[in-house]
């Protein structure tokens, strides 16, 4: 293992190519970075009724529109959905990525669009062409498509939603006690992104217990308060409810909540455990409250409305992170584009009460502090973290993270030797890690401030991770274009954070995985229940070998490499106990 002090070279920082497509401004295109193999986005596998399969209607042509056939238009709409909509929005209004409305794309022109999509830019646009992800013909088609008004995908109301709802095993037909010998709290739910599956892996034996069919690219797994039910949601907005008590864990209910989605959560307030589930959609922009035992849709609420600061209407304010409060019967719902955090009171969904908190635009992911009272969430395109007091349902701080595009996942809670309890986020756009004080009673002088800034491997980080039993903070960088960086993990020792410039240890996870082909990227550390080992996904392309690497947290040495032909593009991993108890 190598110890590096603040790997902050200008070349590394300048070349970060994260999947935030930022078209706009006269940025120069770049050559494909040396050693940059497979781009992080993998080929999309479609699920019924996603935008990619909808036969969209070609809008009426206007003077100056390029020639494009209906079949080309639909093919380009498919490519846009799989590659671009996550950052730019289905209607191209922009979010993390800049707007791609026709007034902007036509001013830049066809040649500019082709060049930008082919070569990318240091500002964050992926090099779709030189990386081999898109062919010249596909880029040509997509460039012509972007010069035409976007199609409006269909809405997804109660009738459409109920049409997809399948109750495979009714609650009364399910077991009344656990029928298997699994230690459920030790299970890991692992996303097999491009296979449209999740793998359940035993935390002791490292064996795959079962692989279950799900939606495409499961974004998160969440566990019911009781620990019995596993909920997963794919990018295609398909939700699976898996009963872990059955002889073999089995999907007992499923539903599609839209065309594209990211978030699912269940009620956790005492007295309301397992009663409700909630899912939020990117398209249509809405959330739905469902029965917690069956996934029957009960209440759909649109998030369309006014942007909090400009008071202008936004047609596509997408639902990002959702957290369940431990203090009130409320779901905390991030509405990305309007900059609003909704405190959704589920105690009476017939007469739904929603407290609307004005925070900041482009709300994305976040998590609770160590006391589970405060919700810290990134407004990533504004480089800020909003702090919500879930006990009072109010905004108490907006923190500038002093970094570029914070992306915490759920963040990491550390007991800092100087500043007391802090919460950490890394950044997509640079190598910094921000530590924010979270103890307004014990350390009021440090509360809701960046008390320390660390420097890790480089830009392209998605997740930070620690555990109450760990003395380490782990930082990944899977979206960094440098192959060695994206296959490594930076580890800070909490006791060394007293130093002015704390050094970190580099774990060569990709090297430990011993994968000969491709450019595997190491992503999303997840601890086991005991907090004495941490698992990392070694994420390769769909047609190449991937793995999971287990590290001994005490020694920082390799403990186990999990390989199995069924581990296709593993990404997110969620330990049952840590996920249901909000331990991070």
Residue pointed to by tokens 């999971």? 548
> Of 14, 19, 11, which is closest to residue 462 (Cα–Cα)?
19
Q: Looking at 36, 314, 364, 472, which residue is catalytic?
A: 364
The verdict on whether 141 is a catalytic residue reads no
The verdict on whether 446 is a catalytic residue reads no
The 8-class DSSP code of residue 127 comes to -
Count CB atoms within 10 A of the CB of residue 298.
16
Are the beta carbons of 13 and 456 closer than 8 angstroms?
A: no
Are the beta carbons of 431 and 458 closer than 8 angstroms?
A: yes
Q: Which two tokens stand for residue 93?
A: 């209004």
Q: Looking at 117, 125, 161, 241, which residue is catalytic?
A: 125
Distance CA 37, CA 17 (A): 12
Count CB atoms within 10 A of the CB of residue 531.
16
Distance CA 479, CA 44 (A): 18
The verdict on whether 168 is a catalytic residue reads no
Q: Looking at 84, 141, 161, 269, which residue is catalytic?
A: 84
Are the beta carbons of 465 and 474 closer than 8 angstroms?
A: yes
Distance CA 408, CA 467 (A): 15
Distance CA 581, CA 583 (A): 6
Q: Which two tokens stand for residue 302?
A: 């649109």
Give, to the nearest 10 degrees, the angle between helix 110-119 and helix 136-146: 130
User: What count of residues does the chain have?
Assistant: 584
Residue pointed to by tokens 């949601």? 233
Q: Looking at 36, 219, 314, 407, which residue is catalytic?
A: 407
Distance CA 340, CA 330 (A): 15
Distance CA 190, CA 221 (A): 8
E-strand ranges in 532-581 read: 533-539, 547-552, 557-562, 570-575
User: Per-residue DSSP letters for 201-237?
Assistant: E-TTT--EEEEEE-SSSEEEEEE-TTS-EEEEEETT-
> Of 341, 351, 348, 346, which is closest to residue 393 (Cα–Cα)?
341
Q: Which two tokens stand for residue 540?
A: 């390769």
| Element spanning 153, H or E | none
> Of 578, 573, 579, which is closest to residue 546 (Cα–Cα)?
573
Q: Which two tokens stand for residue 170?
A: 């009714």
The verdict on whether 36 is a catalytic residue reads no
3-class secondary-structure state, position 317 = coil
Q: Looking at 36, 88, 219, 427, which residue is catalytic?
A: 88
Distance CA 141, CA 73 (A): 8
Q: Which two tokens stand for residue 166?
A: 């399948």
The verdict on whether 290 is a catalytic residue reads no
Q: How buried is 10 (Cβ within 10 angstroms: 0-12 exposed, 13-18 middle, 19+ buried)?
A: exposed
Residues with catalytic annotation?
Answer: 84, 87-88, 125, 364, 407
């Amino acid at each position: 293992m190598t110890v590096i002090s603040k790997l902050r070279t200008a070349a590394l920082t300048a070349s970060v190519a994260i999947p935030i497509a930022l078209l706009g401004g006269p940025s120069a295109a770049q050559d494909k970075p040396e050693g940059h193999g497979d781009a992080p986005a993998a080929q999309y596998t479609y699920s019924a009724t996603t935008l990619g399969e909808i036969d969209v209607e070609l809008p009426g042509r206007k003077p100056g529109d390029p020639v494009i056939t209906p079949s080309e238009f639909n093919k380009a709409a498919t490519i846009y959905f799989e590659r671009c909509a996550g950052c730019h929005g289905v209607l191209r209004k922009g979010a993390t990525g800049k707007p791609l409305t026709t007034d902007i794309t036509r001013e830049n022109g066809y040649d500019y669009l082709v060049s930008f999509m082919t070569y990318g830019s240091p500002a964050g646009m992926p090099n779709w062409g030189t990386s081999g992800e898109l062919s010249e013909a596909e880029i040509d088609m997509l460039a012509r498509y972007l010069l035409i008004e976007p199609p409006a995908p269909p809405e997804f109301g109660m009738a459409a939603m109920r049409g997809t709802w399948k109750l495979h095993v009714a609650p009364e037909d399910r077991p009344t006690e656990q029928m298997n010998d699994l230690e459920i709290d030790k299970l890991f739910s692992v996303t097999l992104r491009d296979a449209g599956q999740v793998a359940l892996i035993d935390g002791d034996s490292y064996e795959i217990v079962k692989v279950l069919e799900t939606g495409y690219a499961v974004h998160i797994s969440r566990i019911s308060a009781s620990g019995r039910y596993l909920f997963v949601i794919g990018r295609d907005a398909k939700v699976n409810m898996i009963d872990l008590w059955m002889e073999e864990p089995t999907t007992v209910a499923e539903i599609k909540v839209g065309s594209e989605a990211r978030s699912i959560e269940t009620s956790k307030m005492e007295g309301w455990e397992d009663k409700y589930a909630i899912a939020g959609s990117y398209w249509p922009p809405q959330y739905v409250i469902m029965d917690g035992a069956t996934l029957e849709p009960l209440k759909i609420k649109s998030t369309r409305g006014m942007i909090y600061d400009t008071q202008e209407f936004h047609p596509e304010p997408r639902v990002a992170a959702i957290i369940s409060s431990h203090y009130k019967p409320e779901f905390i719902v991030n509405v990305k584009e309007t900059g609003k955090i909704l405190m959704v009171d589920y105690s009476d969904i017939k007469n739904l009460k929603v407290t609307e908190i004005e925070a900041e635009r482009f709300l994305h992911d976040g998590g609770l502090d160590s006391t589970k009272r405060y919700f810290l969430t990134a407004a990533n395109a504004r480089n800020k973290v909003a702090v919500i007091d879930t006990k009072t349902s109010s905004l108490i701080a907006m923190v500038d993270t002093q970094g570029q595009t914070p992306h915490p996942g759920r963040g990491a809670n550390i007991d800092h030797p100087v500043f007391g309890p802090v919460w950490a986020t890394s950044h997509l756009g640079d190598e910094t890690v921000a530590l924010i004080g979270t103890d307004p009673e014990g350390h009021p002088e440090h509360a809701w401030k960046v008390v320390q800034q660390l420097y890790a491997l480089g830009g392209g980080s998605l997740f930070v991770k620690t555990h109450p039993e760990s003395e380490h903070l782990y930082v990944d960088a899977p979206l960094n274009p440098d192959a060695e960086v994206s296959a490594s993990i930076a580890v800070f020792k909490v006791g060394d954070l007293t130093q002015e410039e704390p050094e970190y240890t580099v774990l060569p996870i990709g090297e430990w995985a011993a994968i000969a082909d491709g450019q595997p990227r190491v992503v999303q550390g997840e601890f086991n229940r005991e907090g004495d080992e941490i698992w990392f996904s070694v994420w390769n392309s769909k047609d190449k070998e991937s793995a999971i690497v287990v590290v001994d947290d005490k020694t920082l040495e390799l403990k186990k490499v999990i390989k199995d032909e069924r581990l296709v593009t593993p990404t997110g991993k969620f330990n049952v106990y840590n996920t249901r108890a909000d331990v991070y």
